[in-house]
Structure 1
Amino acid sequence: MNFPLIMLLIYTGRKTAAMVWEICNPSTGQSVILPKMKSRKRTGATSFFGYDPTEKQFKVLSMFITKNGISNEHQVLTLAPTGKLSVRIIECSIPHCPQSPGICINGVLYYKSSPNWSSEVDGIMCFDVRSETFRFVRVMEPFIRAVHPRATLINYNGKLASVMSTQSYNYIDEKSIGFVMYVVQDLEKQKWSKHNYELTHLREYGVAMLLFAGVTVAGEIVLLPKYPSSPFYVFYCSLERKSIRRVEIQGMGGFKQVYTFVNHVEDVKLMQTF
């Protein structure tokens, strides 16, 4: 079984155009440091990571941000299967302000956006990784909370979804009574399904500030502490079984920050060679 590459984002100083991306394979130890995205304008920058499953290409979409938060000067860096890098400038005819981390599902990169910094988030920007084109979908009532500033976009069984605590937090703690998840059935037609999950059993563990890390292939929502601790527990919430399980990860006490990559699978062939 093949495994996906893992992306690490490393900031050099402040969040500016001088950002360095490193793509690494944790199983083989191979890594590629991508070049800095350059702009003549002294503006901030936002970058997203995507994958084109048809051409099997990894791409980094970077956009430079004006003072009012509008994205401009969009660039795409492509990492071909051969390892060759190429950078080009693309056009975006939809002025917008990126308002969340991106998530790539089946060759489409999604992130929340608004008209500018001072406006509320009102929709989802969709970037087709293969064609390198943008489209914007405005989210309407009664599903507007799916793009709430504190909602987290996730991949739920191959569909775009949004999850947030019932207290409108982007995290779960011992006082939380549950969370709500909106799953896209048809984004263009504004068809969403809404799922509520109660966390009555979570109070028994006395947890503090759990973040939504993603979803496993088994459909379990992964929650993990924002800060490393000893013992360090990861929680798996199953919507279908209405259950929650806790798994201890040992050796995490010495770390200051944890990055989680859900569904990384080791290549058995590579393991047999060692």
Structure 2
Amino acid sequence: MRSKEGDDTESLSLPVDLIIEILTKLPPRSLSRLICLSKLWLSIIHGKYFNDLYLTRSSTRPRLLLHRYCHDTRRSHYSSLSSGLSLGDSITLPGCQISPPVRGLICCVDHDSSIVVIGNPSTGQFLTLTDAITDKIFFGYDPVNDLYKVLSMYFVHDIDGSVVLEKSQVLTLGGAQESWRVIECKYPYYPGTQGICHNGVVYYGAWSNLTDRRSVVVGFDLRSEEFSLITLPEDVQIVSRFESDLVRYNGKIALVNVSLTRKFDLWVLMDVKKHEWSKYSVVAPTCDFFRCRGTIETGELIFEQLYFGDQFSILYYDPKQDKARRVDLERSGDTTSSGRKLFVDHVESPMFLPRKFIH
């Protein structure tokens, strides 16, 4: 299609629409090699139209994302898993604190070096955001303005020993700002779960008062950059960051606590404005120690193994048909891994992360 490198006068044997159709069926790492073919292919693959089309189609076949943290190297390893549970593309990033994937991108922080990293497991690329003095990081996407944002929070101990929020900062990827921007949060709280981005809002569980550990869900609107508090049902508590988490349940946000028995409850947020929750009681198909990670597009509940030896197990459970299937993943000699965590609804993204992604 071209006579020599750099020649953009190639005679196309295929219309552009058909080329785009073909490219959307290729894996992202193959696309990274095709951008060298010509300026036309480069402009197509890097274009917003192609990226949005690719993500739309990827969302119909979401994958699982497996995170492994190595304590010795203080680095995180991410691998995507197909529906057949075969390990796909992977990426290695510094740091241990992570945020769930957002439209194919992930975010993690290395507290020792104050570095926040944005990565794309599908392309193997990442970019580094410096000058992030932070204790907690949350990552989300504003669909109205088509912007990714990172929320960073720093906490200090007050004179009475309580933990208070010292500073909240936001950085917009691809926005007009050049550095972290301080924003105001009028609510005292300390985050207790991971954050989940849903319809332009990042939700996470928190304790609004560490003295009596009153539990709430915080919502951070990525468009207005304002915080709100959502009350939980009476007697529903966030136990700890190891035992409580927010997950996706059939397209909604839900709070789940680790249970030492087969029975556990999912508290599903039905109405954000009215603070209405519904309880769904589930009896897991095993008495082993598994943690619920939410549902996938088939309606199956996904469980990850809490304690593991030579292998890591994933459990799929269909509550309607009361059927379960278990898949064991080998550790592949990763003897220094100090923990693993599974994320659902990860999609392959063709987005490239050059330095100019942050203006």
SS of equivalent residue, structure 1 residue 263: strand
| Counterpart residue number, 2:126 | 31
| Counterpart residue number, 1:272 | none
CA contact 1:71–1:98 (8 Å) conserved in 2: no
Structure 2: 5+ residue runs without aligned partners?
1-53, 59-102, 351-359
d(CA) in 1 for partners of 2:329, 2:304: 11
Q: Which amino acid aligns with 1:247?
A: V
Alignment of 1:174-213 (within 5 A): 176-199=261-284, 201-203=285-287, 207=288, 209-213=289-293
CA contact 2:104–2:348 (8 Å) conserved in 1: no
Give the number of the structure with larger relative contact order, counting CA–CA contacts within 8 Å between residues 6 or more apart: 2
| Counterpart residue number, 2:184 | 91
Q: Of residues 233, 244, 253 in structure 1, which corresponds to 2:324?
A: 244
CA contact 2:105–2:349 (8 Å) conserved in 1: no
Relative to structure 1, the CA distance from residue 241 to residue 156 in structure 2 (aligned partners, 3 Å threshold; closer, same or farther) is: same
Alignment of 1:105-254 (within 5 A): 105-141=198-234, 144-145=235-236, 147-149=238-240, 150-164=243-257, 170=258, 176-199=261-284, 201-203=285-287, 207=288, 209-250=289-330, 252-254=332-334
CA drift of 1:171 comes to 5.4
Relative to structure 1, the CA distance from residue 227 to residue 24 in structure 2 (aligned partners, 3 Å threshold; closer, same or farther) is: farther
d(CA) in 2 for partners of 1:45, 1:56: 27
d(CA) in 1 for partners of 2:315, 2:266: 17
Relative to structure 1, the CA distance from residue 215 to residue 6 in structure 2 (aligned partners, 3 Å threshold; closer, same or farther) is: farther
Q: Which amino acid aligns with 2:174?
A: A
CA drift of 1:243 comes to 2.7
| Counterpart residue number, 2:110 | 11
Q: Of residues 336, 339, 346 in structure 2, which corresponds to 1:264?
A: 346
Displacement over 6 Å in runs of 4+: none
| Counterpart residue number, 1:41 | none
SS of equivalent residue, structure 2 residue 209: coil
Q: Which has the higher helix share?
A: 2
CA drift of 1:126 comes to 0.8
d(CA) in 1 for partners of 2:208, 2:267: 23
Relative to structure 1, the CA distance from residue 112 to residue 90 in structure 2 (aligned partners, 3 Å threshold; closer, same or farther) is: same
d(CA) in 2 for partners of 1:36, 1:215: 36
CA contact 2:116–2:132 (8 Å) conserved in 1: no
CA contact 2:215–2:237 (8 Å) conserved in 1: no
CA drift of 1:147 comes to 4.0
d(CA) in 1 for partners of 2:239, 2:165: 20
CA drift of 1:148 comes to 4.5
CA drift of 1:231 comes to 3.8
d(CA) in 1 for partners of 2:342, 2:156: 31
Cα deviation, 1:126-162, whole Å, max 9, x if unaligned, reads 1101211011122242xx4164443321121221111
CA drift of 1:267 comes to 5.9
CA contact 2:104–2:347 (8 Å) conserved in 1: no
CA drift of 1:81 comes to 8.0
Q: Which of structures 1 and 2 has the bigger CA Rg? A: 2
Q: Within the alignment, does 1:74 sit opposite 2:156 as a pair? A: no
SS of equivalent residue, structure 2 residue 236: helix
CA drift of 1:202 comes to 1.3
CA drift of 1:195 comes to 1.1
SS of equivalent residue, structure 1 residue 119: coil
Structure 1: 5+ residue runs without aligned partners?
39-43, 165-169, 269-274
Relative to structure 1, the CA distance from residue 88 to residue 264 in structure 2 (aligned partners, 3 Å threshold; closer, same or farther) is: same
SS of equivalent residue, structure 2 residue 286: helix
